[in-house]
């Protein structure tokens, strides 16, 4: 068995991101692995029935706001190890995560999951579940609430 040397960590910019990042950093330090942090900004749909095109300026502004939240979060939680890369991408999260894993030759993907069940999972879908089923490498799903209790 070969231990992971290249770990991709897709994060949301919500409260659980810090916990998932801390977990991934601790794992990467123990394994002497390179960490690649990724956040995917979905193309906004400004209407449930009819997607409305978002202007390039509005998208640029949104990306700038996301970058302002992403950079300090990554810097604060990855100071313990040399960071492989920190990427902000746009598009479908599932597609972008899988593409990054392929491109970076990931040995492991560590990502948070909200642990939704029932109707909310059916309605919202599960990016984590989809990635786990189709990833080119093992996927470690971390329930952020559980990480907080065991940290």
Range of the domain at 45: 6-150
- Residue 100 domain-assigned (yes or no): yes
Distance CA 148, CA 89 (A): 27
Structural domains counted in the chain: 1
CB count within 10 Å of CB 49 equals: 5
The CATH number assigned to the domain holding 59 equals: 3.40.50.620
Predicted TM-score of the model (pTM): 0.83
63 domain residue, yes or no? yes
* pLDDT of the residue at 58: 80
Within-domain flag for 141: yes
pLDDT score of 146: 56
Q: Which two tokens stand for residue 151?
A: 């940290």
State pLDDT tens for residues 38-79: 999 887 655 555 555 667 788 888 899 999 999 999 999 988
């Amino acid at each position: 068995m070969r231990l992971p040397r290249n770990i991709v960590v897709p994060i949301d910019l919500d409260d659980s991101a810090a916990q998932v990042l801390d977990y991934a950093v601790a794992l990467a330090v123990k394994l002497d692995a390179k960490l690649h942090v990724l956040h995917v900004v979905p193309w906004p749909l400004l209407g449930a029935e009819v997607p409305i095109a978002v202007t390039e300026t509005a998208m640029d502004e949104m990306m700038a706001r996301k970058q302002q939240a992403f950079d300090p979060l990554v810097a604060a939680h990855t100071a313990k190890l040399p960071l492989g890369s920190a990427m902000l991408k746009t598009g479908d999260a599932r597609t972008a995560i899988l593409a990054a894993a392929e491109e970076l030759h990931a040995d492991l993907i560590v990502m948070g999951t909200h642990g939704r069940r029932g109707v909310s999972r059916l309605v919202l879908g599960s990016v984590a579940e989809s990635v786990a089923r189709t990833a080119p490498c093992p996927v470690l799903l971390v329930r952020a609430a559980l990480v907080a209790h065991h940290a």
